[in-house]
Amino acid sequence: MSGPKERIDELVHSLNEHNYRYNVLAQPTISDREYDQLLRELQDLEESHPEHLRADSPSQRVGSNLSKSFPTVVHRTPMLSLENTYSGDEVREFVERMERELPNRDLTYACELKIDGVALSIHYEQGLLVRAVTRGDGTQGEDITPNVRTIRTIPIRLREPLPSCEIRGEVYLGHEVFSAINRQREEEGEPLFANPRNSAAGTLKLQDPRSVAQRQLSFFAYAMIGAETPSHYSNLDLLETLGFAVNPHRVLATRPEDIIAFWESCDGLRPDLPYDIDGIVVKLDDLSLQSELGSTAKTPRWAIAFKFSAEQAETVLKRIGLQVGRTGAVTPVAHLLPVQVAGTTVSRASLHNADELARKDVREGDTVIIEKGGDIIPKIVRVVEEKRPQDLRPFDFPDQCPACESALVRDEAEVAIRCVNAACPAQLKGNTRHFASRTAMDIEGLGTALVGLLIDENRVCDVADLYDLPIEKVAELERMGERSAQNLRDGLEASKTRPFHRVLFALGIRHIGATVARNLADAFGSIDALKAVSEEDLLAVDEIGPTIATSLRAYLDNDDNWRVIEKLRMAGLQLEAESGETGDLTIRPFDGKVVVVTGTLERWSRQEAQDLVRQLGGRPTSSLSAKTDLLIAGEKAGSKKTKAEELGIEIIDEKTLIGIVEAAG
Ligand code: IVH
């Protein structure tokens, strides 16, 4: 009879098999429901028999991640980049160079798609995924293994056992998933990702692998380092056998014309592919010839990227509009006669800022060349001067805010032109969307459209008004109704329980992001304490520099802002950190202590050590002063340790710290 161990083995094997069929081959043989049932059975068994938990179990794709920063790993073989070409002539030159350097050989070139994603190196030991590292600077990258485990087109166990190997390839995000992510971000008032590549790169660095799993990244393998196959092409076949997705669009070519024909056909394929590509990669197929040629410091001599040019189109600029952002920055936007570029209809393009507008001398009525590169928002490349009608006047950047008509101010440091009226409705909309967004107050039922409506109808003049909204009146608004109004009321009620640091972030104070808000909340504990604090005291908090300190002081000293904060207090929002809010530990040995970490610790990075101090109840700061209560000194602690000794501050080493952590549970 088979016991739990055997059943676990069986389930792991069959689930990994189904996972491969579904994600890599796109040929599932069981339904999603059946898959979920098997997975649940496995999870239940693993819970009752943790001793049989296997490293290659599909339940381990999303583990927990305690580390806050990613450890650095040096690449055994550097991750090089590729030399770029954009023309058939340059490809011919490349082929001629190969023939010169390797005379009297039959040269074959493997041609494949250049996926526009993020390079990744994955290490397997005894067939098991043990480490995944980003390219970084090519010499060393970051170990992002927990996040990479969530990518379903990457096997956790190779389909054929190999003692040790390193696989390289490209992580990417498909168009559909990318659009869904941006739609959600838009709804939540978060900044949009410019393109799938940025979104993939950002996702790989998320702190929580569960969020990474939701983003549904994919992967195409394109090389095994040190493979014993004779050619690159057979290397790709081997990767397929091992269980990787390898891009199917690939050919072998011997003549430059064949390479160019493949490049042209791929350019044609582009609009139909569900992911971004930015060219093709041409590699000398014979691996022994590759090593004969070797590499320069940056690029291999045996390969070249043959890129596509960004697609351009000509159209007429009808009007230059102005957008007012959350922080009051006023940016020009080009409204265009709709035109087809790179498979989409484009009717708006970015003009960045007033300086860029003046530099390009773009005028309303001009014929312009627009370009759609990797970004979702196309750019204006230049004006077609020959087509400019005679009477066009240079664009006069207004000196009044288009939304509230108050005077605009030039922000010298940032080339931005800003509306500084705190009551400006355009800023209020941006601010309210930010306030309600998922990482801030997370108010369900309050999307972009409703925010716009509430402000246009003068029902909301500051974010605190949200909490005074008569729900019957909300139900009467266009496209609302009882249910939506009730949803909003529930969302608002629920938001009252958000901890103080989220409220502080939600206020949208310039330069105060989620992490800074958390540090401030940890350090001072309440809005009233923050109001009373001097700029100097603020500077003593970790990661708080003069820009943040000045911005916060200016915000809290402004009477209108403080009035809104008082209204939020009346509404019942958390303006004080609850004790114990910052950590899960029951014993908080550093309670209230100001702690500095210095030198190198073996077990924790600097950031992790500071988080740990917070969890233990302490307040981490980076500068040592008479106010410091404790110094944690790692290896090579240096001058801070000497100074602490002089000031008579308590000093502990890593071993003592480990003891304290273990005792705190
Ligand atoms: S070969 C040393 N093959 O392009 C050879 N790279 O500019 C380097 N890329 O960092 C890699 N698709 O991220 C290779 N089929 C492909 C590729 C590819 C995309 C990326 C890769 C690399 C960059 C080089």
Q: Is the pLDDT of residue 415 over 80?
A: no
The listed range with the strongest mean pLDDT (89-103, 526-540, 607-621) is: 89-103
For domain 83-307, the CATH class is: alpha beta
Least Cα distance to 438 among 183, 181, 185 occurs for 185
The continuous run of DSSP H or E covering 20 comes out as: helix 4-23
- Pick 477 or 154 by higher pLDDT: 154
Task: Supply the pLDDT for residue 31.
Answer: 79
Q: What number is the average pLDDT over the span 107-127? A: 96
User: How many Cα atoms within 13 Å fall on the side-chain side of residue 425?
Assistant: 14
Neighbour count for residue 471 (Cβ, 10 Å): 12
The continuous run of DSSP H or E covering 69 comes out as: none
| Structure token pair of residue 355 | 């300086």
Residues with CB under 6 A from ligand 1: 80-82, 112, 114-115, 119, 135, 170, 222, 281, 300, 303, 305
The continuous run of DSSP H or E covering 410 comes out as: strand 408-411
* Residue 309 near residue 86, CB atoms below 8 Å: yes
One-letter amino acid identity for 635? E
Task: Supply the pLDDT for residue 492.
Answer: 96
Residue to substitute in 86, 112, 115 for testing ligand 1 pocket (most ligand atoms within 8 angstroms of CB):
115
Helix 4-23 and helix 32-48: axis angle, to 10°? 150
| Structure token pair of residue 85 | 């070409």
* Residue 244 near residue 221, CB atoms below 8 Å: yes
Q: How remote is the CA of residue 169 from the centroid of ligand 1, in Å?
A: 7
Residue to substitute in 273, 280, 281, 301 for testing ligand 1 pocket (most ligand atoms within 8 angstroms of CB):
281
Residue to substitute in 81, 172, 232 for testing ligand 1 pocket (most ligand atoms within 8 angstroms of CB):
81
Q: Which CATH number fits domain 312-387: 3.40.50.80, 1.10.274.50, 1.10.1040.10, 2.40.50.140?
A: 2.40.50.140
Angle value at C-alpha 289, between 283 and 294, nearest 5 degrees: 80
Q: Is the pLDDT of residue 11 over 90?
A: yes
Q: What number is the average pLDDT over the span 215-241? A: 95
DSSP 85: E
Q: Which residues contact 134 (CB under 8 A, 6 or more apart)?
A: 70, 118, 119, 120, 121, 141, 142, 144, 204
- Pick 191 or 292 by higher pLDDT: 292
Whether the CA torsion 500, 501, 504, 507 is positive or negative: it is negative
- What is the three-class DSSP state of 208? coil
Q: How remote is the CA of residue 303 from the centroid of ligand 1, in Å?
A: 10
Nearest CA to ligand 1 atom 23: 81
pLDDT category at 118 given cuts 50, 70, 90 is very high
Alpha-carbon separation of residue 183 from 151, 186, 513 (angstroms): 22, 5, 22
Q: Is the pLDDT of residue 122 over 70?
A: yes
Task: Supply the pLDDT for residue 585.
Answer: 47
d(CA 604, CA 622): 16
Q: Which residues contact 589 (CB under 8 A, 6 or more apart)?
A: 616, 617, 660, 663, 664
- What is the three-class DSSP state of 333? strand
Residue to substitute in 133, 166, 170 for testing ligand 1 pocket (most ligand atoms within 8 angstroms of CB):
170
Least Cα distance to 75 among 130, 129, 142 occurs for 142
Least Cα distance to 642 among 653, 631, 657, 628 occurs for 631
Looking at the chain, which residues constitute the CATH 2.40.50.140 domain(s)?
A: 312-387
Q: What share of the chain is helix, strand, coil (3-state, %, to 5)?
A: 40, 20, 40
Q: What number is the average pLDDT over the span 353-380? A: 87
Q: Catalytic site residues? A: 114
- Torsion angle of C-alpha atoms 36, 42, 48, 49, degrees rounded to 10: -160
Task: Supply the pLDDT for residue 448.
Answer: 87
Looking at the chain, which residues constitute the CATH 3.30.470.30 domain(s)?
A: 83-307
Q: How remote is the CA of residue 221 from the centroid of ligand 1, in Å?
A: 10
Q: Which CATH number fits domain 425-495: 1.10.150.20, 1.10.10.60, 3.30.2290.10, 1.10.240.10?
A: 1.10.150.20
- What is the three-class DSSP state of 540? coil
Q: Which value, in Å, is the radius of gyration of the alpha carbons in the chain?
A: 29
pLDDT averaged over every residue in the chain: 89
User: Quick one: which atom of ligand 1 is closest to the CA of 299?
Assistant: 2
Length of the chain: 665
User: Quick one: which atom of ligand 1 is closest to the CA of 84?
Assistant: 7
Q: Which residues contact 232 (CB under 8 A, 6 or more apart)?
A: 110, 223, 283, 284, 285, 286, 287, 290
* Residue 609 near residue 601, CB atoms below 8 Å: yes
Q: How remote is the CA of residue 114 from the centroid of ligand 1, in Å?
A: 6
- 3-state secondary structure labels for all residues of 22-60: HHCCCCCCCCHHHHHHHHHHHHHHHHHCHHHCCCCCHHH
Task: Supply the pLDDT for residue 66.
Answer: 36
Looking at the chain, which residues constitute the CATH 1.10.150.20 domain(s)?
A: 425-495, 500-580
Task: Supply the pLDDT for residue 579.
Answer: 65
d(CA 651, CA 641): 8
Structure confidence by residue, pLDDT tens digits, 40-81: 899 889 888 888 888 889 887 764 433 346 888 999 999 999
d(CA 337, CA 347): 6
Task: Report how far apart the first and last C-alpha atoms of the chain are (Å, whole number).
Answer: 41
Q: Which of 46-60, 135-149, 160-174 has the lowest mean pLDDT?
A: 46-60
Q: Which CATH number fits domain 500-580: 3.20.20.10, 3.40.50.1000, 1.10.150.20, 2.60.40.10?
A: 1.10.150.20
Alpha-carbon separation of residue 523 from 465, 533, 604, 629 (angstroms): 29, 11, 22, 14
Q: How remote is the CA of residue 182 from the centroid of ligand 1, in Å?
A: 26
Q: What is the DSSP string of 572-626?
A: T---BPPTTTT---S--TTTT-EEEEESB-SS--HHHHHHHHHHTT-EEESS--T
CATH T-level topology, domain 4-60: Helix Hairpins (1.10.287)
Task: Supply the pLDDT for residue 115.
Answer: 97
* Residue 73 near residue 131, CB atoms below 8 Å: yes
Task: Supply the pLDDT for residue 581.
Answer: 47
Task: Spell 311-333 as b/e; 16+ CB within 10 A means b.
Answer: bbbebebeebebebbbbbbbbbb
Neighbour count for residue 498 (Cβ, 10 Å): 17
DSSP 88: H
Looking at the chain, which residues constitute the CATH 3.40.50.10190 domain(s)?
A: 583-664
Q: For tokens 């696989």, name the residue.
A: 167
d(CA 84, CA 28): 39
Structure confidence by residue, pLDDT tens digits, 264-276: 999 989 878 999 9
d(CA 198, CA 116): 10
Q: For tokens 């109001």, name the residue.
A: 531
Cα 365 to its chain centre, rounded Å, is 38
One-letter amino acid identity for 362? V
| Structure token pair of residue 523 | 């350090």
| Structure token pair of residue 112 | 């494949």
Structure confidence by residue, pLDDT tens digits, 489-544: 999 999 999 999 999 999 999 888 877 888 899 889 999 999 999 888 888 876 78
Q: How remote is the CA of residue 21 from the centroid of ligand 1, in Å?
A: 26
Q: How remote is the CA of residue 523 from the centroid of ligand 1, in Å?
A: 45
Q: What number is the average pLDDT over the span 536-559? A: 87
> Please, which residues bridge with residue 109 across strands?
253, 284
pTM as predicted: 0.62
| Structure token pair of residue 289 | 């010839």
Task: Supply the pLDDT for residue 59.
Answer: 83
Furthest CA-CA distance within the chain: 91
* Residue 424 near residue 405, CB atoms below 8 Å: no
Q: What number is the average pLDDT over the span 89-104? A: 95
Is the domain defined by 583-664 classed in CATH 3.40.50.10190?
Answer: yes
Q: Is the pLDDT of residue 607 over 80?
A: no
DSSP 399: S
- What is the three-class DSSP state of 227? coil
Q: Is the pLDDT of residue 591 over 60?
A: yes
d(CA 650, CA 664): 19
pLDDT category at 343 given cuts 50, 70, 90 is low
